[in-house]
Structure 1
Amino acid sequence: MARTSGPETRAKLIHAAEELFAAQGVDGAQLRDITRLAGQANPSAVQYHFGSRAGLLDAVMAGRLARTEQVLVDLAYDPEADVHGLVTALVTAEASELRTERGRRCLRVSAQLSHESGVRARTPHPTLAGTAYWALIERIAARLAADGLPEPLLLERLDLALTVVGAALADRARQYLDGTEPLTGEALFLADLVETTTALLRAARPRSL
């Protein structure tokens, strides 16, 4: 077997993890299967390069986030936009992962981690700290606060909205990967996802408040 460098081995393990985490689940995929798929003879390769399953998962998500960050930069969206405009930027950036097989797999992985973003505690997951993506989330939260939505309800809605977006895109990614014909074209799907998510966030306050 040809020798590979540390960075090459890391890249192979990340690619294998993306495939198996997407197909078998973040908790279901076995590290030994990831190591084997990456072509590594050392059964401890994941621990050596990433420290743990969590470290490998963070590496997968870091790569996915780096691509999303670049799309956000290229979008040059208006930071003073209303909720609809900000949600449009969010969905557009996230949906860019639908363009490639790798991105589709990563959408299926990240949807499993939607509640780990740190939104409910306003403390970003380490991979999100200081990112344009987190700044966008904070801007959406600020618009909702300006509408008078109480903080606990605001954070629950925002977390739910991110979960909805993640689940919808992950299901679309699954259809593409499986060769299933979607019910709607991609442009209509994304436009409706923006409208649905915006409506969720801007829904009237419960009458009991």
Structure 2
Amino acid sequence: MSADDTRQLLIDAATRAFAEHGVHNASLLEITRQAGQRNRGAVHYHFGSREGMLVAVLAREAEFLGPRERELLAVAQSRPREDLASVFEAVVRPAVELAETGWRGRCFLQIVAQLVDDGPGSTDPAVQEVLGRTGGFEVYDLLDQRMPPMPEALQIERTALATSFLLRSIADRARARDRETPGRAQLSTEDFIRNLISMVTAMVTAPVP
């Protein structure tokens, strides 16, 4: 097996483990075992650290999201200032498209939702850099400009909660469609996207308490 093959097996194992157990709690030894590697130092050999492995996991999907988010961001920028829905579409639609590519996309969304919960101050700079490749930071800059007036702390809280909600909702929907036993009826992809955009827009524009 080549070094590239080994690296890809480790990335796949880490993607599942980070999504299921958490970025900080997943066992590197268990990731190594799930990848079929006997060398206990395989993670450090190929990635240098837990953060290096996380960067590799995120980078694979960032290349998919970046062009799509920026394409929809350009559309949102052409809309009136009060149009928040078009800004959220630049997050929701690419994320749904990614989730429908398979389990890797779904796990990516779960991992990013964790990082949003942690906040940027607790995230390694290299991780922040790879997240920047998705175009998400540019989308959220526009969202900040279009949010209705409210205290800064409340705006940050609403944006974080809305982001976590939409990412997990998209990942959960993809997971439900993978189940062998049917659950509740699912909306069509387009109806799901439009409804989710409407819901998160309502969340961030709800009356200030």
Length-normalised TM-score, structure 1 = 0.82
Residues 5-154 of structure 1 mapped to structure 2, 5 A cutoff: 5=3, 7-75=4-72, 76-81=74-79, 82-101=83-102, 102-118=104-120, 125-129=128-132, 132-144=135-147, 147-154=148-155
Residues 74-83 or 155-164, more deviating: 74-83
Q: In structure 2, give the amino acid aligned to 1:200.
A: M
Give 1:182 shift.
Answer: 4.3
Q: Which has the higher contact order (CA 8 A, sep 6+)?
A: 2
Unaligned runs of 5+ in 1: none
Distance 1:118 1:35, change over 3 A: same
The amino acid across from 2:108 in the alignment is C
**CA RMSD for the aligned pairs?**
2.6
Name the SS for the 1:40 alignment partner.
Answer: coil
The DSSP-based 3-state class of the residue aligned with 2:75 is: coil
| Alpha-carbon distance between aligned partners in 1 of 2:14 and 2:136, rounded to the nearest angstrom | 23
Gaps of 5+ in 2: none
**1:77 counterpart letter in structure 2:** V
What corresponds to 2:200 in structure 1? 197
Do the aligned partners of 2:166 and 2:196 also contact (CA within 8 Å) in 1? yes
Distance in 1, Cα, partners of 2:133 & 2:27: 32
Structure-2 separation of matches of 1:22 and 1:158: 22
| Cα deviation digits, residues 113-136 of structure 1 (max 9, x gap) | 22235299xx99333346521100
TM-score scaled by structure 2? 0.82
Partner amino acid, structure 1, of 2:60: G
Count of residues in correspondence between the two structures:
199
